[in-house]
A = this chain, B = another copy of it.
Amino acid sequence: MTTATAGKGLEGIVAANSGICWIDGDAGVLAYRGMDIHELAEHSTFEETTYLLWNGKLPTAPQLEEFKKHLAAARRIDVRVIDLLRSLPTTGTPMEVLRTAVSALSFYDSDEYDNTHEGNVRKGNRLTSQIAMIVAIYDRLRKGKNIIEADPSLSHAANFLWMLNGERPSETATKTLDIALILHADHELNASTFAARVIAATLSDIHSAITGAIGALKGPLHGGANEAVMRLLYDIDKTGKEPVEYVKDLIAKKQKIMGFGHRVYKTEDPRATHLRRMSEQLSRDSGQHKWYDWSRAIELYINSEKKLNANVDFYSASTYTMLGIDVDLFTPIFAVSRIAGWTAHVIEQLDDNRLIRPRAEYIGPGYPNHWVPVENR
Contacts and interface: CB of A to CB of B under 8 A. Distances in A.
Interface of A: 1-6, 8-22, 24-26, 29, 31, 33-36, 39-40, 43-44, 56-61, 64, 80, 83-84, 87-89, 91-92, 96, 99-100, 103-104, 106-108, 188-192, 194-195, 198-205, 207-209, 211-224, 263-264, 266, 354-375, 377
A20 to B, nearest CB: 6
Q: Which of A9, A99, A191, A199 has the most C-beta atoms of chain B within 10 angstroms of its own C-beta?
A: A199
Contacts of A212: 195, 199, 208, 211-213, 215-216
Given A195-B198, A195-B199, A374-B60, A357 B88 contact: no
Contact of A15 (B103, B195, B358): B358
A276 to B, nearest CB: 22
A241 to B, nearest CB: 26
Contact of A363 (B4, B17, B209): B17
A34 to B, nearest CB: 3
Nearest to A5: B14
Contacts of A220: 202-203
Copies of this chain present: 2
Contacts of A31: 367-369
B14 A6 contact: yes
B19 A14 contact: no
Contacts of A222: 202, 204, 355
B191 A361 contact: no
Nearest to A30: B367
B202 A218 contact: yes
B360 A189 contact: yes
A22 B362 CA distance: 6
A18 B365 CA distance: 11
5 smallest CB-CB distances across A and B, nearest first, come from A202-B219, A208-B215, A212-B212, A19-B364, A34-B369
28 contacts: A2-B12, A3-B14, A9-B354, A16-B361, A21-B362, A29-B367, A33-B364, A35-B370, A36-B367, A39-B371, A58-B372, A80-B87, A89-B108, A92-B106, A99-B103, A100-B103, A100-B104, A103-B103, A188-B360, A191-B198, A192-B202, A204-B216, A204-B218, A208-B215, A208-B216, A212-B215, A264-B357, A264-B359
